[in-house]
Amino acid sequence: MSARSRSSVPSSGQRRLRADGAVSRRTFLKGSGVLVVAFSLAGPARLGAPAAARAQEAGAAQSLDSWLAIAADGSVTLFTGKVDLGTGVETALAQIAAEELNVPFGSMRVVQGDTAVSPDQGRTVGSLSISQGGLQVRKAAAEARQALLRLASDRLGVPADALAVRDGVVSVAGDPSRTVSYGALVGGRRFELEMTGTAEPKRPADYTIVGQPIPRLDIPAKMTGSFEYVQNVRLPGMLHGRVVRPTPQSGATLVGVDQDSVRDLPGVVQVVVKGNLVGVVAEREEQAIEAAKQLRVTWSDPTGLPDQADLFDIVRRTPSEDKTLAASGDVAAALGGAAKLVRATYEFPFQSHAMMGPSCGVADVRADRATVWSGTQHPHGLAKDLATWLDLPEDAVRVIYTEGSGCYGRYTTDDAALDAALLSQAVGRPVRVQWMRHDEHGWDHYNTPMLFDLQAGLDADGKVVAYDWQSWSARHTGQALLGDQTGNWVIPLDPVFVGDDTPKFYDFANTRYVLHAQDRALLRYGNNRSLGAMLSAFAAESFMDELAAAAGADPVEFRLRHLSDQRAIDALRAAVDRAGWDTRPSPRRDASRTGVVAGRGLALGEYGANPQLGHTWIATVAEVEVNQDSGEVQVKRMVVAHDCGLIVNPDGVRNQVEGNTLQSLSRTLFEEVAFDRSGVTSVDWRTYPILTFEDVPEVEVILIDRPDVGAAGAGESATIPTAAAIANAIFDATGVRLRRVPFTVSRVRAALQQRG
Amino acid sequence: MSALNLSVNGRSYTVDVEPDTPLLYVLRNDLELNGPKFGCGLNQCGACTVIMNGRSVRSCVTPVSRAVGAEVTTLEGLGTVDNPHPIQQAFIDEQAAQCGYCINGMIMTAKAFLDANPNADDAAIRRALSRNLCRCATHLRILRAVSRYAEEQRA
């Protein structure tokens, strides 16, 4: 469909060529006629506080960091450092540019994330790629179109407003014989445009490419084994490395390495020791794996994790800085005067990203420079960190983004890239490091666990008159590269941004939202999909259901009593209408206490707090069957209404909504990082089970398109309501309220037994 | 090390490796076939699946010596971007991927299963794929793609 290019190059010949020479924007485009618009993907838009913090976290530069180039052959290249991560963003950004320029989609190509080619745009985090980046691409393309129309106006001798563009060809309105193509207008000349902000983007009503389910650019190669994953990068003379670490997250430090233990193994090139980092480098991959297995390493005794059963007691006791996120009225007085009080505590554990492909990096470190291939979400940030670790100047480290496995936040730190770089530096040859499965599960930076104490008062009419929210959480972002660290997982508190994503969208009269913000957690933690939004929504929307039950109200009707945002209301109604919602209070009264019973539950989620870029609203209905004898929960059907404003690519959004819904279903029912006093014990797919084909329900997605609202994020939003929707459905079926994720068979059975 | 003769995707190769080397590393590193992926090395996820003599096997736990004398097919052996196999085309038509890392295993497992069980229904397809993991959770698209291919084959 289109010439597709990645900065991770397809042939080894090209790869060598590129690895040897730094490529700048100027040299990349040199020697050909071209019209270039430079712009910032981060954009100059003023951001609301949480989004501003998020953008700051993303390292968003205000400088001109991206560009769009129209060449003399009519091809259009979009250079961005915003990386795709398997979510289809590349295709969507190309659609936006093609739309504004009025060029065929097939003439677009996208180059992503090479620190030498595309400048710093911050990390791909928080689903900002389309909401923020798309807006800037749109403006830049409009700017280019305006300039091209000006050139055409001179060439054709008619005013610009008498011109029309179709498929990259400008024609005089009413005289189709007088035309000139974009390519011919560029010719052999070179135009460098600055953003003037005067170009008027198209009206959404005129869109013909944006809004279409254009097939993704990357999929054919992925289906045929020809896609360039970082795992496939091979360099001349490349060796294979593996790193040997102690029992995951045990806090043990290095005592000694018996180099003789692998001396006789075939292919071993070197044992590398740097601080607590121990690595083996071998000629062949299986030799490196074997050497890592055989190498005798002595570690100190584990510093001792507590019992996993004590996790949330420890979260509660961890020193915190108490932040009042929002407050209104007089909560204490309103609670005192309420007709009914409801209190509940919710817990959400550590969970792993559990990438299918373990972390993998390839590094070629020489005396004075380094080239690293990485699936990182932030090529420039990684280059900077690597420069520090390797003791090289920042501009001597080139990071070439090469897509890895789907990562969901895992690649905010690419630990394997650092491992590869350190081993390559030690042996003086290119080294590829792929983590083993136990490394990936054991040394992941998990999401921060969260604890919630919620309390509310209802009046005699069943309205919430007091709402008191307290949560405990460490930051959901910002873990440093692993390197030779072995424990003590501390991330300094950010004055603005913790990433708890506390929902505050209901109209409650007297409120107090307090976050007990912490700077440490028991295990390594950082960005995981939706940050704290899924965790906070589990508490908030489960509690909303408990309040509805206390008021004897239908869960939908009860929410509508407290909602005024029209988009939220529309999403809620769309989901329940499609689901055929059975209007009545929960739990259902006619259900048997034995055997299999069915129930339905609902939850509402809000994603993104930037008023300029819009919110995404998600309403999810879950229908479940609970086997009350075994404790097994089967989710039979999920109905998800999703409103992310303007939809760039409906099939892309649908794919994301389905994927987020099912991945979060997996997190809800099955997933919890397990540890004992010796370290993390969930180190493979048996000890950390995830959803299988036999667990997958039907998922019905309703996309609400709002072309007038502006595109908001869809890359993680549908993760948010799932856990609460399922908890509420289980409550509806059985009357049992599950307040701790995951809802494993044994946990559900125990709760049912307690019910009696 | 010993010289072993392999037949992969209809071509003959001689590789000089230890006979107990997992087939996966020989396919990827010696033959530069990138379809099969390392996911776990433990026979738990299916990302490394190849077809050997018509049956799907996990190449991460299959010694290369077992492939001697067998016909091995990898994802590349089915088709290309320009000329995809019908099952690959079905996955493209259904846009059945996000990151795509698991897809090799899905396609190879489903193809071997449907070749042997052309009349399998959706429940049987789910069972056949139940030991293949997908983390982006594109399961429903994968099922649609496999069903589409199965129907086309039956037509």
Establish if A312 belongs to a structural domain. Answer: no
Domain count for chain A, please give it. 4
Around A84, how many Cα atoms within 13 Å sit in the side-chain half-sphere?
A: 31
Evaluate the CA torsion angle A642, A647, A652, A656 in order and state its sign: negative
Query: Collapsing DSSP states into helix, strand and coil, what is residue A696?
Result: coil
β-strand pairing of A464-474 with A450-458: antiparallel
CATH of the domain at A260: 3.90.1170.50
- What percentage of residues in chain A have a pLDDT greater than 90? 77
A507 and A479 in a common domain: yes
% chain A with pLDDT above 70 = 89
- A313-367 confidence digits (pLDDT tens): 999 999 999 999 999 999 999 999 999 999 999 999 999 999 999 999 999 999 9
Contacts of A215 in chain B (CB under 8 A): 92, 95
Winning range, highest mean pLDDT, from A293-307, A610-624, A662-676: A662-676
Same domain, B41 and B104: no
Same domain, A609 and A527: yes
- CATH number for the domain harbouring residue B113: 1.10.150.120
Q: Clarify whether residues B72 and B95 are in a common domain.
A: no
Both tokens assigned to A354: 């559990």
Q: Is the peptide bond before A10 cis (omega within 30 degrees of 0)?
A: no
Looking at mean pLDDT, say which of A186-195, A483-492, A704-713, A726-735 comes out highest. Answer: A726-735
Digit-coded pLDDT (tens) for A278-328: 999 999 999 999 999 999 999 999 887 999 999 999 999 999 999 999 999
- Domain C-terminal end among B31, B57, B77: B77
Specify whether B88 is located in the same domain as B105: yes
- Residue A129 has what pLDDT? 67
pLDDT band at A54 (very low <50, low <70, confident <90, very high): very low
E-strand ranges in A628-740 read 633-643, 675-676, 679-680, 698-703
> A225: which chain B residues are within 8 Å (Cβ-Cβ)?
33-35, 74-76, 104
Cα-to-chain-centroid distance, residue A659: 12
Least confident of A135-149, A335-349, A627-641: A135-149
The whole-number average pLDDT for the span A606-617 is 74
What is the enclosing helix (H) or strand (E) of A257?
strand A254-258
Residues A220 and A241 in one domain: no
Q: Do residue A217 and residue A255 come from a single domain?
A: no
Q: Which of B77, B99, B134 is the last residue of a domain?
A: B77
Element (H, E) at A165: strand A163-166
Optimal mutation site among A8, A212, A222, interface B, most CBs of chain B within 10 A: A222
Report B:1-60 residues touching A (Cβ under 8 A).
1, 17-18, 21-22, 25, 28-29, 32-35, 37-42, 44-45, 47
Distance CA A631, CA A226 (A): 44
How is the beta sheet containing B49-52 ordered, strand by strand?
A: B11-17, B2-8, B71-73, B49-52, B55-58
Q: Are residues B64 and B91 in the same domain?
A: no
Residue B14 and residue B66 share a domain: yes
CATH code of residue B34: 3.10.20.30
In our burial notation (b when 16+ CB lie closer than 10 A, e otherwise), range A711-750 reads bbbbbbbbbbbbbbbbbbbbbbbbbbbbbbbbbbeebbbe
Final residue before a domain boundary, out of B43, B77, B111: B77
**Distance between CA atoms of A128 and A520, rounded to whole angstroms?**
27
Question: How many CB atoms within 10 Å of residue A174?
Answer: 9
Range of the domain at B42: 2-77
Query: pLDDT (tens digit, 9 = 90+) per residue, B50-71?
Result: 999 999 999 999 999 999 999 9
A324 and A271 in a single domain? The answer is: no
Domain assignment of residue A102, yes or no: yes
Q: Per-residue confidence at A405, pLDDT binned at 50, 70, 90?
A: very high
Which domain, by its residues, includes A379?
359-434
Give the whole-angstrom CA distance, residue A677 versus residue A305: 5
**A21-35, A89-103, B90-104: which has the minimum mean pLDDT?**
A21-35
| pTM higher than 0.80 | yes
Question: Which of residues A203, A224, A245 is at a domain's end?
Answer: A224
Decide: A297 and A256 in contact? Cβ < 8 Å: yes
B112-151 residues touching A, CB cutoff 8 A: 126-127, 129-141, 143
Put residue A275 in one of left, alpha, beta given phi > 0 → left and psi -120 to 50 → alpha.
left
User: How many domains does chain B divide into?
Assistant: 2
The pLDDT value recorded for residue A188 is 87
Question: What local confidence, expressed as pLDDT, does residue A194 receive?
Answer: 81
Contact A662, B137 (CB under 8 A): yes
Question: For residue A131, is pLDDT > 90?
Answer: no
CB contact residues (below 8 A), chain A span 45-104, against chain B: 85-88
Q: Is the peptide bond before A742 cis (omega within 30 degrees of 0)?
A: yes
Which residues is B15 bridged to in the sheet?
A: B4
Closest approach of A100 to chain B, Cα-based (Å): 25
Return all residues near B64 (Cβ < 8 A) that are at least 6 apart: B4, B6, B15, B17, B19, B20, B21, B22, B23, B26
> In this structure, are A691 and A590 located in the same domain?
yes
A689, pLDDT greater than 90: yes
Residue B100 and residue B89 share a domain: yes
pLDDT given for residue A31 in this prediction: 59
Instruction: Say if residue B83 is in the same domain as residue B148.
Output: yes
